[in-house]
Amino acid sequence: FMYSFTVRVCADFEGQSISDEIVLKAELQLDSLKQKGAVKRTLFFDYHQSHHYFSIVIERQKQLHCQDFLVYLRDETEFRDKLSPININLNYSLDESSFEDSLTVKPILNYYQKSSLTEQAHILVDCGEDNLCIPDLQLSAMPDTDQLVIGEENCVMLIINPRNDGEGAYEAELHVKIPPEADYTGVERNNKALRVLSCDYKMENETRMVVCDLGNPMVAGANFSTGIRFSVQHFENADFSINFELQIKSSNKINPTSNLVNLHINISAMAQVQIRGVSRPPTIILPLHNWEPKDEPTKEEEVGPLVEHIYELHNIGPSAINYTVLHVGWPVSSREEFLLYILHIQTHGPLHCQTSSPINTMQIKFAIPQDTPELAAFLYNSTISHYVRRRDVAVAEPHRKNSAKILNCTNVKCVLISCTVGQLERGKSAALKIRSRLWAQTFLERKNDLYSLSSNVSFEVKSMPYKVQPAKLPGGNIAIRTSVIWSTPNVSFEIPLWVIILAILLGLLVLALLTLALWKCGFFDRARPPQDDMADRQQLTNNKTTDA
């Protein structure tokens, strides 16, 4: 089925001292208001083009010369504009090649008369007797979430309800202005209650838009819901909310647009930050085997056993943190006697530290490890709990389990280690390892006294890398302890060989004397019981009887 109409071009002429026949060159253009490259809604049936060049031969004897051209309307799926008129433009001029050479004065067209004509055709639409559609477009929308947390996946679906309470709205489109923080990801297709629209991403004057087709026309009484999805990830310059602007637009001359809808979704920043630590080893057992104290140690082994504390600041997220202060209180001495002597401080990640007083003032030589696999393992092991599980150590159970004296910054002198932590994204960590030696001489002078050396660690997040800041920033503290206990050592005495030989000889001599004494006493003589003599006599009698 095809819609068509006829375009008739008629011409005549009047003039003086001109020939009886004039030829005009003519050009007929269909839908001339459509710009070059746009879809022409009408085409010539014989040529399937929107323009046609032809000649008009006019004779003086005939009052009017006419030509008919059949024009057809494209299928409505090939164009959208059904309301604007279809302009039909005719341009004409004299065909000078048809003039006779004998003419001394060649004819010209009337200078005061236009050499072009324009007529219009309209596409009939269902808009009543006046063919004028007046829609009543209404729009409402709501997001599927009222809160976005920076660092989360943040997928947002706008549930949109377009409605037309008036006559048909032609070339009706839903326009959604995308905020800088969001990206268009598609339409919702898995919900049967929501209509799937055809939507395209467009740029309009450097403004990002999603444009969806609502129908051509969006018929009277149309009322449905649809879903459009966005991903919101760009929060670097985000304020406290993001804003979506929505509106229905049509090509109708009266009431072409709907109400403007502004959707605001709040933005918040939130981070869960964890501090955790471990003592390596968790327990020192005194006395030390094959170790003797020195008054002026020069090597780290001469000071005492190695004690390392490792602390990790871990951002669980979801938001990032960009400035954190971390403080470690380290029990270094008591009454001018060293407790835990710091040799070296090592950091991992965006961590920078300084101490309140110099460390290793005695210039004790120590080996700095090239890599610390235990630090990396501690840092990247996401399965460990808030306090790292300490290794099991087989030690003697102290007799006074609850009498260990805690030595911390409240009762001994401490070195304060102050650190600043840079930006930590979700799932990232910064770690600090303190390498020290237990000053064994201090504790060996207090035999059988139990101690618990405690380092106190605290942190406070100062800011996040966003304009939006939480009402309360994270903070926390922990205490990491190293126990000093006593147990009875297993001592192996070295016995000389001559002592062993002498003991064996003495043992043999005692055994010989005891044996002699028993022999003298008749202990080894055999005494038969009376029953044995009677049995022998009976056996002898029986033998004699047999012989007889």
Give the per-residue pLDDT at 389.
Answer: 34
For residue 377, is it within any domain? no
* CATH number (domain holding residue 460): 2.60.40.1530
For residues 204 and 280, state if they share a domain.
no
**Residue ending a domain, choose from 460, 486, 512:** 486
Average pLDDT of the residues of the chain? 85
Give the per-residue pLDDT at 164.
Answer: 95
For residues 241 and 174, state if they share a domain.
yes
**Residue ending a domain, choose from 268, 284, 319:** 268
Domains: count for the chain: 3
Cα(32)–Cα(89) distance, integer angstroms: 7
For residues 414 and 329, state if they share a domain.
yes
Res. 270 pLDDT band, cuts 50 70 90: very high
For residues 444 and 298, state if they share a domain.
yes
Cα(117)–Cα(201) distance, integer angstroms: 41
* Six token digits for residue 444: 């060996």
Give the per-residue pLDDT at 488.
Answer: 61
- Predicted confidence (pLDDT) at residue 423 exceeds the cutoff of 60: yes
The single-letter code of the amino acid at 90 is L
Res. 96 pLDDT band, cuts 50 70 90: confident
* Mean predicted confidence (pLDDT) in 377-400: 42
For residue 388, is it within any domain? no
The proportion of the chain whose per-residue pLDDT surpasses 70, expressed as a percent, equals: 86
3-state secondary structure of 26: strand
For residues 113 and 196, state if they share a domain.
no
Report the residue count for the chain: 548
* Mean predicted confidence (pLDDT) in 157-167: 95
Identify the domain containing residue 240 by its residue range. 137-268
Extended strands (E) in 269-412: 271-280, 283-286, 306-318, 323-334, 337-338, 340-348, 351-355, 405-407
- Lowest pLDDT segment from 10-24, 148-162, 515-529: 515-529
For residue 516, is it within any domain? no
On the CB side of 82, CA atoms within 13 Å amount to 23
Res. 18 pLDDT band, cuts 50 70 90: confident
**What separation in angstroms does the CA of 407 have from each of 41, 412, 451, 455?**
92, 6, 7, 9
179-190 pLDDT per residue, tens: 999 999 999 999
- Lowest pLDDT segment from 63-67, 99-103, 300-304: 99-103
For residue 205, is it within any domain? yes
* Mean predicted confidence (pLDDT) in 451-456: 95
* Mean predicted confidence (pLDDT) in 454-474: 94
For residue 166, is it within any domain? yes
Residue (of 63, 62, 56, 59) closest to 20 by Cα position: 59
**Residue ending a domain, choose from 470, 486, 502:** 486
* CATH number (domain holding residue 143): 2.60.40.1510
Give the per-residue pLDDT at 545.
Answer: 47
> How do 116-121 and 86-94 pair as beta strands?
antiparallel
* Six token digits for residue 532: 């044995």
- The enclosing H or E element of 212 equals strand 207-215
For residues 257 and 277, state if they share a domain.
no
Cross-strand partners of 480: 455
For residues 263 and 283, state if they share a domain.
no
For residues 307 and 443, state if they share a domain.
yes
For residues 145 and 237, state if they share a domain.
yes
Give the per-residue pLDDT at 396.
Answer: 43
- Predicted confidence (pLDDT) at residue 386 exceeds the cutoff of 90: no
Give the per-residue pLDDT at 460.
Answer: 97
For residue 71, is it within any domain? yes
Name the more confident of 373 and 514. Answer: 514
How big is the CA angle at 207 (ends 204 and 208), to the nearest 5 degrees? 95
For residue 535, is it within any domain? no
For residues 150 and 225, state if they share a domain.
yes
**What separation in angstroms does the CA of 170 have from each of 78, 155, 261, 467, 516?**
15, 32, 21, 43, 135
- The enclosing H or E element of 487 equals none
For residues 176 and 51, state if they share a domain.
no
Cβ 102 vs Cβ 96: under 8 Å: no
For residue 148, is it within any domain? yes
Cα(163)–Cα(238) distance, integer angstroms: 32
* CATH number (domain holding residue 40): 2.60.40.1460
Query: What is the pTM assigned to this prediction?
Result: 0.67
For residues 160 and 260, state if they share a domain.
yes
* Mean predicted confidence (pLDDT) in 170-193: 94
Cα(188)–Cα(225) distance, integer angstroms: 11
- Predicted confidence (pLDDT) at residue 377 exceeds the cutoff of 60: no
- Predicted confidence (pLDDT) at residue 527 exceeds the cutoff of 50: yes
